Structure 1
Amino acid sequence: MVSFYDAMQLIVDRAEELSTKMTVEDKAEVTKAGAKIFEQALKQEVLSRHYRHRDTGEDPHLADSIVIKNRNIDDVKDGQSVVGWERSTEKGTHTKGYIANIINNGSRFPQFTTRSGRKYKNPGEVAVHADHFIEETRNNPVVKQGILKAEAEAMRKIINRKKKENNL
């Protein structure tokens, strides 16, 4: 017969195995499930607030440029997932991440300059007012609930897979 201490230790060991001792691939699988939900919510928010029904040519719309990376912000695979736009490159700073930052946080000065390089405000030029659509999407309780449900489902699949592997 197993002692009470041994039974409790077995429960703790199994719980640690499924939580803190998860592999990087399993953590990435869980966070990617939540990232997909956040990507859909962010895309819907951008479309509802900042979409003009016009032809953009070869340049895709901000909502169509949202990417998911199964790595952290420093491009290291540690189980985190990142949702957003590509960083600015050396070729130019006007990438979608740059544009989303201006729309989200606003600008203090007008974003357009004259051909002579004049940066001061002329009649008709205005600074961009902050919209904070990223924070509002991130803090939306419905979106948070959806992310948690998706991550819980992914975690449930991992637990069931580990149970089958260990014949529990």
Structure 2
Amino acid sequence: MVNIAGLDDWADNLEKAYSLSIPEQARITKTGADVLRKNIADYLKIHHYRNRKTDEEPHLADSVIDDATNVLGKVDGSSVVGFPPEKGYIARFLNDGTKYIHGDDYLDKVRNASLDEIYKAENAEYQKILKEKGVSGV
């Protein structure tokens, strides 16, 4: 005989687990964006960092930013990682290359190498959210 009450509880937990609010989705994707931001900054520091006088101007590795919004600045559950406009063109030159600079293609390298770490961080945040909701067994 099937335990209907147990099945109902499981279905309720499953529904709670899959019905995440926009802020909860943003928390999850922001956690992954934090990992990617850190990994991009670390790669730039290792491979492209030079000790030079820049006055108040931060190095590209120190300028990587992330935000829990989409590219238009709207909160929709997604997150972005990138560079501020005044540094974006430098990041593109390093990544794509120019007539005088051999491109490194570091954005794809770092993104692909970071996928497992991003997924683990996002899953850990997802599990925290489920625990806060009192959801278990999903």
Identify whether the pair has TM-score above 0.5, normalized to the shorter chain.
Answer: yes
* 1:116 corresponds to: none
Gaps of 5+ in 1: 88-94, 110-126
Deviation at 1:14, TM superposition (A): 2.8
Higher helix share: 2
The aligned counterpart of 2:95 is 104
| C-alpha distance after superposition, 1:73-122 (max 9, x if no partner) | 121100111111023xxxxxxx1011101110112x4xxxxxxxxxxxxx
The one-letter code sitting in structure 1 at the alignment partner of 2:33 is: A
Partner AA of 1:129 in structure 2 = H
Identity %: 34
In structure 1, the residue matched to 2:70 is 72
- Match of 1:139, SS? helix
**Counterpart Cα distance in 1 of 2:64 and 2:34:** 11
Distance 1:73 1:50 in 2: 26
Alpha-carbon offset, residue 12 of structure 1? 3.8
Per the TM alignment, residue 3 of structure 1 is displaced from its structure 2 partner at its CA by 6.3
> What does 1:67-146 align with in structure 2 at a 5 Å threshold?
67-87=65-85, 95-107=86-98, 109=99, 127-140=100-113, 143-146=114-117
What residue identity is the alignment partner of 2:10? I
Shift of 1:55: 1.7
What are the superposed Cα offsets for residues 41-69 of structure 1, whole Å, 9 maximum, x if unpaired? Answer: 11110011110111211111001111111
Using CA pairs below 8 Å that are at least 6 residues apart, which structure has the higher relative contact order?
A: 2
Match for residue 33 of structure 1 among 9, 21, 31: 31
Structure 1 position 11 matched with structure 2 position 2:
no
Counterpart for residue 117 of structure 1: none
Unaligned runs of 5+ in 2: none
The AA in structure 1 aligned to 2:105 is H
State TM-score, norm by structure 2. 0.87
User: 4+ residue runs of structure 1 moved beyond 6 angstroms?
Assistant: none
Inter-partner Cα distance in structure 2 for 1:9 and 1:80? 31
**What is the deviation of 1:9?**
5.7
Q: Distance in 2 between matches of 1:13 and 1:99?
A: 50
Distance in 2, matches of 1:14 and 1:83, equals 32
Q: Tell me the equivalent position of 2:124.
A: 153
Q: Number of matched residues?
A: 135
2:41 matched to which residue of 1? 43
Query: Shift of residue 10 of structure 1?
Result: 5.0
Structure-2 separation of matches of 1:16 and 1:33: 23
